[in-house]
Amino acid sequence: MAWNITGHEWAVEQLRISIRSGADAHAYLFSGPPGLGKRLLALRMAQALNCEHGNGDPCLTCRACRRIERGNHPDVRVASMETQAAAGKAEEATRQKELKIATIREWQRDVSLRPYEGQRRVFILHDAERLSEEAANAMLKTLEEPPPYVTLILVADSTDLLPTIVSRCRALRLRPLPRRQVVRALVDRGADPQTAALLAAWSGGRIGQALQLLETPEAIARRDEQIAALLAVHEQGRSEGLRWAELRAREYRSGEQETVFAWLELWQSWWRDVLLVAAGSPEGVMHIDRQADLERSAQRHTLPQIYAFVAQLGQAARYLRDNANPNLVLENLALHVPGRE
Protein backbone atom coordinates (compact mmCIF):
# COMPACT_ATOMS: atom_id res chain seq x y z
CA MET A 1 0.00 0.00 0.00
CA ALA A 2 1.24 3.48 -0.90
CA TRP A 3 1.13 4.75 2.66
CA ASN A 4 3.47 2.00 3.81
CA ILE A 5 1.66 1.61 7.12
CA THR A 6 0.82 -1.67 8.81
CA GLY A 7 -2.83 -1.85 9.84
CA HIS A 8 -5.25 1.05 10.38
CA GLU A 9 -6.54 0.42 6.85
CA TRP A 10 -9.88 2.13 7.58
CA ALA A 11 -8.11 5.30 8.74
CA VAL A 12 -5.82 5.42 5.71
CA GLU A 13 -8.77 4.83 3.40
CA GLN A 14 -10.77 7.59 5.03
CA LEU A 15 -7.89 10.07 4.80
CA ARG A 16 -6.97 9.34 1.19
CA ILE A 17 -10.56 9.53 0.00
CA SER A 18 -11.07 12.83 1.77
CA ILE A 19 -7.88 14.29 0.25
CA ARG A 20 -8.81 13.09 -3.23
CA SER A 21 -12.30 14.48 -3.04
CA GLY A 22 -11.13 17.73 -1.48
CA ALA A 23 -13.22 16.98 1.59
CA ASP A 24 -10.32 16.82 4.02
CA ALA A 25 -10.85 18.51 7.36
CA HIS A 26 -8.79 21.47 8.50
CA ALA A 27 -8.09 19.81 11.85
CA TYR A 28 -7.64 16.17 12.84
CA LEU A 29 -7.22 14.34 16.10
CA PHE A 30 -5.44 10.98 15.90
CA SER A 31 -5.81 9.25 19.25
CA GLY A 32 -5.12 5.84 20.76
CA PRO A 33 -2.69 4.17 23.16
CA PRO A 34 1.06 4.76 22.67
CA GLY A 35 2.94 2.64 20.16
CA LEU A 36 0.14 2.27 17.61
CA GLY A 37 1.82 4.18 14.80
CA LYS A 38 -0.04 7.48 15.19
CA ARG A 39 3.12 9.50 14.50
CA LEU A 40 3.68 7.65 11.28
CA LEU A 41 0.08 8.20 10.22
CA ALA A 42 0.44 11.95 10.85
CA LEU A 43 3.68 12.00 8.85
CA ARG A 44 2.05 10.14 5.95
CA MET A 45 -0.89 12.53 6.03
CA ALA A 46 1.50 15.49 5.77
CA GLN A 47 3.20 13.76 2.84
CA ALA A 48 -0.09 12.92 1.12
CA LEU A 49 -1.18 16.56 1.39
CA ASN A 50 2.07 17.83 -0.12
CA CYS A 51 3.13 15.04 -2.48
CA GLU A 52 4.09 16.38 -5.89
CA HIS A 53 1.83 13.80 -7.52
CA GLY A 54 -1.13 15.10 -5.56
CA ASN A 55 -3.40 12.08 -5.94
CA GLY A 56 -4.28 11.53 -2.29
CA ASP A 57 -1.43 9.11 -1.63
CA PRO A 58 2.14 9.90 -0.59
CA CYS A 59 4.55 8.55 -3.23
CA LEU A 60 7.40 8.58 -0.65
CA THR A 61 9.94 9.26 -3.41
CA CYS A 62 9.33 12.81 -4.64
CA ARG A 63 11.28 15.70 -3.15
CA ALA A 64 8.39 16.85 -0.93
CA CYS A 65 7.73 13.35 0.46
CA ARG A 66 11.41 12.82 1.19
CA ARG A 67 11.89 16.18 2.87
CA ILE A 68 8.87 15.60 5.09
CA GLU A 69 10.17 12.14 5.98
CA ARG A 70 13.48 13.69 7.03
CA GLY A 71 11.75 16.42 9.01
CA ASN A 72 13.04 19.37 7.00
CA HIS A 73 10.15 20.52 4.85
CA PRO A 74 9.45 24.22 5.46
CA ASP A 75 5.67 23.76 5.32
CA VAL A 76 5.45 21.01 7.93
CA ARG A 77 5.92 22.06 11.50
CA VAL A 78 6.00 19.61 14.41
CA ALA A 79 5.85 20.25 18.15
CA SER A 80 5.88 17.75 21.01
CA MET A 81 7.06 17.30 24.58
CA GLU A 82 10.37 16.33 23.02
CA THR A 83 10.79 19.53 20.99
CA GLN A 84 9.70 21.50 24.05
CA ALA A 85 12.34 19.77 26.17
CA ALA A 86 14.99 20.32 23.49
CA ALA A 87 14.17 24.02 23.40
CA GLY A 88 14.34 24.47 27.17
CA LYS A 89 16.93 24.11 29.86
CA ALA A 90 18.01 20.55 30.60
CA GLU A 91 17.14 20.64 34.30
CA GLU A 92 13.67 21.97 33.51
CA ALA A 93 13.03 19.44 30.78
CA THR A 94 12.83 16.40 33.04
CA ARG A 95 10.21 18.03 35.23
CA GLN A 96 7.96 19.15 32.43
CA LYS A 97 4.62 17.42 32.44
CA GLU A 98 2.63 19.69 30.18
CA LEU A 99 2.80 21.31 26.78
CA LYS A 100 3.18 24.96 27.61
CA ILE A 101 1.61 27.99 26.06
CA ALA A 102 5.02 29.20 24.83
CA THR A 103 5.47 25.95 22.90
CA ILE A 104 2.05 26.32 21.29
CA ARG A 105 2.65 29.95 20.40
CA GLU A 106 5.95 29.08 18.76
CA TRP A 107 4.40 26.10 16.95
CA GLN A 108 1.59 28.13 15.40
CA ARG A 109 3.65 31.31 15.07
CA ASP A 110 3.32 32.08 11.39
CA VAL A 111 0.22 29.97 10.79
CA SER A 112 -1.27 32.69 8.62
CA LEU A 113 1.55 32.64 6.05
CA ARG A 114 0.98 30.89 2.76
CA PRO A 115 2.88 27.68 2.00
CA TYR A 116 6.53 28.33 1.10
CA GLU A 117 6.83 25.55 -1.45
CA GLY A 118 4.24 22.87 -0.78
CA GLN A 119 0.51 22.88 -1.33
CA ARG A 120 -0.47 22.96 2.30
CA ARG A 121 1.08 23.94 5.54
CA VAL A 122 0.73 21.10 8.01
CA PHE A 123 1.01 21.65 11.75
CA ILE A 124 1.47 18.45 13.74
CA LEU A 125 1.19 18.48 17.52
CA HIS A 126 2.18 15.30 19.35
CA ASP A 127 1.36 14.59 23.02
CA ALA A 128 -1.77 16.74 22.71
CA GLU A 129 -3.22 15.04 25.80
CA ARG A 130 -0.58 16.99 27.74
CA LEU A 131 -1.75 20.43 26.67
CA SER A 132 -2.05 22.74 29.63
CA GLU A 133 -5.43 24.41 29.80
CA GLU A 134 -3.84 27.73 28.99
CA ALA A 135 -2.02 26.27 25.99
CA ALA A 136 -5.18 24.51 24.79
CA ASN A 137 -7.10 27.78 24.95
CA ALA A 138 -4.34 29.49 23.00
CA MET A 139 -4.93 27.18 20.07
CA LEU A 140 -8.72 27.30 20.02
CA LYS A 141 -8.88 30.22 17.65
CA THR A 142 -6.46 28.60 15.20
CA LEU A 143 -8.44 25.37 15.40
CA GLU A 144 -11.67 27.16 14.81
CA GLU A 145 -10.69 29.15 11.76
CA PRO A 146 -7.36 28.07 10.35
CA PRO A 147 -6.33 29.69 7.06
CA PRO A 148 -7.63 27.64 4.10
CA TYR A 149 -4.19 26.26 3.22
CA VAL A 150 -3.50 24.92 6.73
CA THR A 151 -4.09 21.43 8.13
CA LEU A 152 -3.67 20.85 11.86
CA ILE A 153 -3.06 17.33 13.14
CA LEU A 154 -3.23 16.69 16.87
CA VAL A 155 -1.83 13.36 18.04
CA ALA A 156 -2.80 12.13 21.50
CA ASP A 157 -2.36 9.00 23.61
CA SER A 158 -5.84 9.48 25.04
CA THR A 159 -8.96 11.45 24.27
CA ASP A 160 -8.62 13.19 27.61
CA LEU A 161 -8.55 16.66 26.05
CA LEU A 162 -10.69 19.73 26.44
CA PRO A 163 -14.03 19.02 24.75
CA THR A 164 -13.73 22.36 22.97
CA ILE A 165 -10.57 21.02 21.29
CA VAL A 166 -12.01 17.62 20.41
CA SER A 167 -15.19 19.09 18.94
CA ARG A 168 -13.19 21.19 16.48
CA CYS A 169 -11.30 18.22 15.05
CA ARG A 170 -12.20 15.28 12.87
CA ALA A 171 -11.33 12.48 15.27
CA LEU A 172 -9.80 9.16 14.24
CA ARG A 173 -9.47 6.77 17.13
CA LEU A 174 -6.85 4.12 16.38
CA ARG A 175 -6.98 0.69 17.96
CA PRO A 176 -4.41 -2.07 18.50
CA LEU A 177 -4.04 -4.46 15.55
CA PRO A 178 -4.94 -8.14 15.59
CA ARG A 179 -2.00 -10.15 16.89
CA ARG A 180 -1.61 -12.17 13.67
CA GLN A 181 -1.21 -8.97 11.64
CA VAL A 182 1.63 -7.82 13.90
CA VAL A 183 3.28 -11.24 13.62
CA ARG A 184 3.13 -11.06 9.82
CA ALA A 185 4.58 -7.54 9.76
CA LEU A 186 7.47 -8.61 11.99
CA VAL A 187 8.22 -11.73 9.94
CA ASP A 188 8.17 -9.58 6.80
CA ARG A 189 10.88 -7.49 8.39
CA GLY A 190 13.06 -10.49 9.04
CA ALA A 191 12.03 -11.65 12.54
CA ASP A 192 12.02 -15.39 13.16
CA PRO A 193 8.49 -16.70 13.82
CA GLN A 194 9.10 -17.33 17.52
CA THR A 195 10.42 -13.82 18.20
CA ALA A 196 7.61 -12.39 16.07
CA ALA A 197 4.98 -14.23 18.12
CA LEU A 198 6.57 -13.08 21.38
CA LEU A 199 6.88 -9.43 20.38
CA ALA A 200 3.37 -9.36 18.92
CA ALA A 201 2.02 -10.72 22.21
CA TRP A 202 4.09 -8.35 24.33
CA SER A 203 3.04 -5.33 22.34
CA GLY A 204 -0.64 -6.16 22.67
CA GLY A 205 -1.21 -5.29 19.00
CA ARG A 206 0.70 -2.02 19.19
CA ILE A 207 2.66 -2.28 15.99
CA GLY A 208 4.95 0.69 16.67
CA GLN A 209 6.04 -0.79 19.96
CA ALA A 210 6.59 -4.24 18.41
CA LEU A 211 8.79 -2.80 15.65
CA GLN A 212 10.77 -0.81 18.14
CA LEU A 213 11.42 -3.92 20.23
CA LEU A 214 12.48 -5.79 17.09
CA GLU A 215 15.07 -3.14 16.32
CA THR A 216 16.47 -3.06 19.85
CA PRO A 217 17.41 -6.54 21.11
CA GLU A 218 18.71 -4.94 24.31
CA ALA A 219 15.15 -3.81 25.00
CA ILE A 220 14.04 -7.44 24.86
CA ALA A 221 16.78 -8.46 27.30
CA ARG A 222 15.86 -5.57 29.56
CA ARG A 223 12.24 -6.60 29.58
CA ASP A 224 13.25 -10.11 30.59
CA GLU A 225 15.26 -8.66 33.47
CA GLN A 226 12.31 -6.53 34.54
CA ILE A 227 9.98 -9.52 34.61
CA ALA A 228 12.57 -11.43 36.64
CA ALA A 229 12.75 -8.52 39.11
CA LEU A 230 8.96 -8.47 39.47
CA LEU A 231 8.82 -12.23 39.99
CA ALA A 232 11.45 -11.80 42.70
CA VAL A 233 9.14 -9.32 44.40
CA HIS A 234 6.36 -11.92 44.24
CA GLU A 235 8.57 -14.71 45.57
CA GLN A 236 10.86 -13.11 48.09
CA GLY A 237 8.53 -11.24 50.37
CA ARG A 238 8.13 -7.80 51.76
CA SER A 239 11.77 -6.66 51.98
CA GLU A 240 12.33 -7.30 48.26
CA GLY A 241 9.14 -5.41 47.48
CA LEU A 242 10.21 -2.42 49.54
CA ARG A 243 13.64 -2.45 47.93
CA TRP A 244 11.98 -2.39 44.51
CA ALA A 245 9.72 0.49 45.61
CA GLU A 246 12.71 2.45 46.88
CA LEU A 247 14.58 2.05 43.58
CA ARG A 248 11.56 3.14 41.55
CA ALA A 249 10.85 6.12 43.80
CA ARG A 250 14.45 7.24 43.34
CA GLU A 251 14.11 6.93 39.56
CA TYR A 252 10.89 8.87 39.70
CA ARG A 253 12.37 11.72 41.68
CA SER A 254 15.41 11.92 39.41
CA GLY A 255 13.21 12.67 36.42
CA GLU A 256 12.68 9.17 35.01
CA GLN A 257 8.95 9.24 35.54
CA GLU A 258 8.14 7.49 32.30
CA THR A 259 10.42 4.58 33.25
CA VAL A 260 8.41 4.12 36.42
CA PHE A 261 5.12 4.26 34.52
CA ALA A 262 6.50 1.62 32.15
CA TRP A 263 7.29 -0.60 35.15
CA LEU A 264 3.76 -0.22 36.45
CA GLU A 265 2.32 -0.98 33.04
CA LEU A 266 4.49 -4.07 32.72
CA TRP A 267 3.52 -5.25 36.19
CA GLN A 268 -0.12 -4.68 35.45
CA SER A 269 0.16 -6.64 32.19
CA TRP A 270 1.58 -9.54 34.20
CA TRP A 271 -1.29 -9.63 36.65
CA ARG A 272 -3.83 -9.16 33.87
CA ASP A 273 -2.35 -12.31 32.34
CA VAL A 274 -2.66 -14.11 35.68
CA LEU A 275 -6.28 -13.02 35.74
CA LEU A 276 -6.86 -14.49 32.26
CA VAL A 277 -5.24 -17.79 33.20
CA ALA A 278 -7.15 -17.97 36.49
CA ALA A 279 -10.39 -17.23 34.65
CA GLY A 280 -9.70 -20.08 32.22
CA SER A 281 -9.03 -18.06 29.07
CA PRO A 282 -5.26 -18.09 28.57
CA GLU A 283 -5.39 -17.54 24.77
CA GLY A 284 -5.06 -13.78 25.08
CA VAL A 285 -2.08 -13.64 27.46
CA MET A 286 0.75 -11.26 26.69
CA HIS A 287 3.61 -13.10 28.41
CA ILE A 288 3.43 -16.19 26.23
CA ASP A 289 6.99 -17.19 27.16
CA ARG A 290 6.09 -17.40 30.87
CA GLN A 291 3.14 -19.79 30.88
CA ALA A 292 4.40 -21.87 33.83
CA ASP A 293 4.98 -18.80 36.03
CA LEU A 294 1.54 -17.46 35.14
CA GLU A 295 -0.12 -20.75 36.01
CA ARG A 296 1.67 -20.92 39.33
CA SER A 297 0.52 -17.40 40.23
CA ALA A 298 -3.02 -18.19 39.10
CA GLN A 299 -3.17 -21.25 41.35
CA ARG A 300 -1.92 -19.40 44.41
CA HIS A 301 -4.43 -16.55 44.40
CA THR A 302 -8.15 -16.05 44.19
CA LEU A 303 -9.74 -14.07 41.36
CA PRO A 304 -10.77 -11.20 43.68
CA GLN A 305 -7.20 -10.94 45.02
CA ILE A 306 -5.76 -10.81 41.52
CA TYR A 307 -8.35 -8.38 40.29
CA ALA A 308 -7.81 -6.08 43.27
CA PHE A 309 -4.09 -5.88 42.59
CA VAL A 310 -4.58 -5.18 38.87
CA ALA A 311 -6.84 -2.30 39.89
CA GLN A 312 -4.36 -1.12 42.49
CA LEU A 313 -1.56 -0.94 39.92
CA GLY A 314 -3.73 1.29 37.75
CA GLN A 315 -4.62 3.42 40.74
CA ALA A 316 -0.93 3.83 41.67
CA ALA A 317 -0.19 5.23 38.21
CA ARG A 318 -3.08 7.68 38.54
CA TYR A 319 -1.88 8.83 41.99
CA LEU A 320 1.58 9.46 40.56
CA ARG A 321 0.16 11.46 37.66
CA ASP A 322 -1.72 13.51 40.25
CA ASN A 323 1.60 14.34 41.94
CA ALA A 324 1.25 12.07 44.96
CA ASN A 325 4.42 11.26 46.93
CA PRO A 326 6.17 8.52 44.90
CA ASN A 327 7.65 6.77 47.97
CA LEU A 328 4.25 6.46 49.61
CA VAL A 329 2.50 5.27 46.46
CA LEU A 330 5.14 2.69 45.53
CA GLU A 331 5.69 1.36 49.06
CA ASN A 332 1.97 0.98 49.53
CA LEU A 333 1.89 -0.99 46.30
CA ALA A 334 4.74 -3.25 47.38
CA LEU A 335 2.92 -3.98 50.65
CA HIS A 336 -0.19 -5.14 48.80
CA VAL A 337 1.28 -7.68 46.42
CA PRO A 338 -1.11 -10.65 46.59
CA GLY A 339 -0.21 -13.50 48.92
CA ARG A 340 1.85 -11.45 51.29
CA GLU A 341 -0.49 -11.39 54.28
Q: Which residues bind Zn ion (CB under 5 A)?
A: 51, 59, 62, 65
Smaller CB distance to Zn ion: residue 62 or 93?
62
**Cβ proximity to Zn ion, 46 vs 214, nearer residue:** 46
For Zn ion, the closer CB: 62 or 308: 62
Three-class DSSP category at 19: helix
Contact 191, 220 (CB under 8 A): no
Measured from the CB of residue 52, what is the shortest distance to Zn ion in angstroms?
5
Q: How far is CA 45 from CA 14, 25, 52, 236, 320, in A?
A: 11, 12, 13, 51, 35
Between CA 312 and CA 13 the distance in angstroms is: 40
Between CA 194 and CA 201 the distance in angstroms is 11
Q: How far is the CB of 53 from Zn ion (least distance, A)?
A: 6
Beta-carbon contacts of 37 under 8 Å, excluding residues fewer than 6 positions away, are 5, 6, 7, 8, 174, 207, 208
- Whole-number minimum distance, CB 2 to Zn ion, in Å? 9
Query: Whole-number minimum distance, CB 184 to Zn ion, in Å?
Result: 27
- CB–CB of 34/158 below 8 Å? no
Strands of the sheet with 76-79, listed across from one edge: 76-79, 121-125, 150-156, 27-31, 170-173
The Cα–Cα gap between 45 and 40 comes to 8
Least Å distance, CB 229 to Zn ion, is 47
To Zn ion, the closest distance from the beta carbon of 70 in angstroms equals 13
**Which residues sit opposite 152 in a β-bridge?**
27, 123
Which CB atom, from 55 or from 164, has the smaller least distance to Zn ion? 55
Nearest residue (CB) to Zn ion, 18 versus 332: 18
* Contact indicator for 243, 281 with CB cutoff of 8 Å: no
Let me know: does 46 contact 124? Beta carbons within 8 Å: yes
Q: From the CB of 302, what's the least distance to Zn ion, in Å?
A: 58
Let me know the angle formed at the C-alpha of 326 by 324 and 329, rounded to the nearest 5 degrees: 80
The minimum distance between CB 312 and Zn ion, in angstroms, equals 50
Q: Given the complex with Zn ion, which of 59 and 166 has the nearer CB atom?
A: 59
Q: Residue 323 corresponds to which amino acid?
A: N
Amino acid in the structure at residue 69: E
Q: In whole angstroms, what is the distance from residue 56 CA to residue 162 CA?
A: 31
Nearest 5°: phi and psi at 76? -120, 120
State in angstroms the smallest separation of the CB of 47 from Zn ion: 6
